[in-house]
């Protein structure tokens, strides 16, 4: 039935198709279950969705026309409230069947790029479903004190993320000339890779994509990543702890410091706390410190977590989250993120696992 309705939708725009010019796009569609309302065409600019066009529904149907130099992701927004479709805009006929209260139900046809993107998304969602199950199990085990099971699931979570990373890199390698590839590197792969692997994956992209907005963003990120390479001096920061006292990285010169980016809402962060306390207790007197940087956007959530867990180390907050200056400086795209700083203030290891952290501290702090 859905395929039949989508075919009817395409037929509905037959007259528009006849007038379509090959160097423009025509986005036609319907919003199921509504007759009137305003539809906004949007795209992300500097991390924020901006309106680039709008139109009124006519008997539940809409039409947008325009042109793009290189295919890029656009969004449909209903009444300025709900995002109801995500798709690649390219200069072709694109038909969309959407729903006023659901992004996931949207159906897109008529675009080769979108066919490939939908195929990618379908496989990507299989990995994220596995990750969600593991994270939910970790949350339950953490609350019930099943620490050995928590660590087992954390290992499984890391392996699943590695599988996801390999899947995305293989996709990029096999579709290096597709406009989708820089988008999936930027929005799907970036939280999973280190600087060197990111640079190597970006290098796989066809030179024909150099004008892509996503390629330009990736090139800027690669350049920024080099500023926090292993061996570089850790960037300075100053943030306040829960008592309002300023905490600076320079306060800990001469010690090994783990800069730990976290948030109270992140299940993996909460699962690691027991192990972090163990490591802190084991090595603190030998010259090891932790500075927790919370990216909670609600100060009370952060304070509640500190009351419940009673962190033994200093903890600071930046309520701007992943958009905060400290997160941007350290190129934090996921949580938790861990930087081990040596006694001279240089980055010794980035995204170090807690197992690796124990090994490094054991060898260096006798």
DSSP 270-333: HHHHHHHHHHHHHHGGGTEEEEEEE--SSHHHHHHHHHHH--SSEEEE-TTGGGSHHHHHTT--
Tell me: the pLDDT tens digits for 241-296? 999 999 999 999 999 999 999 999 998 898 888 889 999 999 999 999 999 999 99
36, β-bridge pairs: none
Q: β-pairing, 347-350 with 288-294? A: unpaired
Give me 99's structure tokens: 């729903």
- Which pLDDT belongs to residue 22? 64
Q: Which residue has the tokens 């392996």?
A: 159
**CATH tag, 238-364:** 3.40.30.10
Same fold, 2-110 and 238-364: no
Compute CA 123 distance to the chain's CA centroid, rounded to the nearest angstrom.
17
Q: Which residue has the tokens 């006023």?
A: 100
Least confident range of 1-10, 69-78, 229-238, 351-360? 1-10
* Average confidence (pLDDT) over 1-29: 59
- Does residue 110 register a pLDDT over 60? yes
Q: Which residue has the tokens 């010019």?
A: 21
**CATH tag, 2-110:** 2.60.40.10
- Which pLDDT belongs to residue 21? 55
* Average confidence (pLDDT) over 157-176: 96
Tell me: the pLDDT tens digits for 281-319? 999 999 999 999 999 999 999 999 999 988 999 999 999
Summarize the chain as % helix, strand, coil (round to 5).
45, 25, 25
Residue spans of the domains in the chain: they are: 2-110, 115-228, 238-364
Give every strand in the sheet of 82-89, ordered side by side. Answer: 48-56, 38-45, 72-78, 82-89
- Which pLDDT belongs to residue 17? 45
Name the DSSP class of 61: E
pLDDT band at 47 (very low <50, low <70, confident <90, very high): confident
Give whole-number Cα distances, 353 to 117, 187, 320, in Å.
32, 23, 25
pLDDT band at 212 (very low <50, low <70, confident <90, very high): very high
Q: What angle do CA 334, 337, 341 make, to 5 degrees?
A: 150
């Amino acid at each position: 039935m859905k395929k039949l309705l989508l075919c009817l939708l395409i037929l509905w725009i037959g007259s528009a198709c006849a007038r379509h010019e090959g160097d423009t796009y025509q986005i036609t569609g319907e919003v199921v279950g509504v007759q009137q309302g305003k539809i906004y065409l949007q795209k992300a600019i500097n991390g924020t969705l901006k309106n680039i066009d709008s139109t009124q529904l006519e008997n539940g149907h809409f039409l947008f026309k325009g042109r793009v130099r290189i295919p890029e992701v656009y969004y449909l927004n209903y009444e300025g409230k709900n995002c109801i479709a995500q798709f690649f805009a390219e200069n072709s006929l694109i038909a969309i069947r959407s729903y006023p209260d659901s992004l996931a139900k949207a159906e897109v046809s008529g675009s080769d790029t979108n066919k490939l993107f939908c195929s990618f998304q379908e496989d990507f969602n299989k990995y994220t479903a596995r990750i969600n199950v593991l994270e939910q199990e970790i949350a339950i085990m953490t609350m019930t004190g099943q620490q050995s099971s928590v660590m087992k699931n954390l290992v499984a979570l890391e392996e699943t993320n590695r599988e996801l990373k390999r899947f995305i890199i293989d996709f990029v390698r096999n579709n290096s000339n597709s406009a989708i590839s820089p988008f999936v590197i930027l929005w799907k792969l970036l939280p999973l890779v280190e600087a060197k692997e990111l640079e190597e994956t970006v290098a796989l992209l066809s030179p024909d994509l150099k004008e892509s907005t996503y390629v330009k963003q990736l090139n800027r990120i690669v350049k920024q990543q080099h500023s926090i390479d292993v061996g570089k001096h850790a960037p300075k920061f100053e943030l306040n702890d829960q008592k309002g006292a300023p905490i600076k990285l320079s306060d800990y010169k001469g010690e090994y410091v783990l800069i730990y980016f976290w948030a109270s809402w992140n299940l993996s962060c909460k699962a690691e706390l027991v192990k972090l306390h163990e490591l802190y207790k084991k090595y603190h007197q030998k010259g090891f410190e932790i500075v927790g940087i919370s990216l909670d956007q609600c100060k009370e959530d952060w304070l509640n977590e500190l009351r419940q867990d009673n962190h033994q180390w200093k903890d600071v907050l930046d309520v701007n989250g992943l958009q905060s200056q400290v997160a941007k400086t350290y190129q934090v795209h996921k949580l938790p993120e861990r930087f081990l700083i040596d006694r001279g203030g240089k980055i010794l290891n980035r995204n170090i696992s807690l197992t690796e952290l124990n090994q490094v501290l054991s060898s260096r702090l006798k």
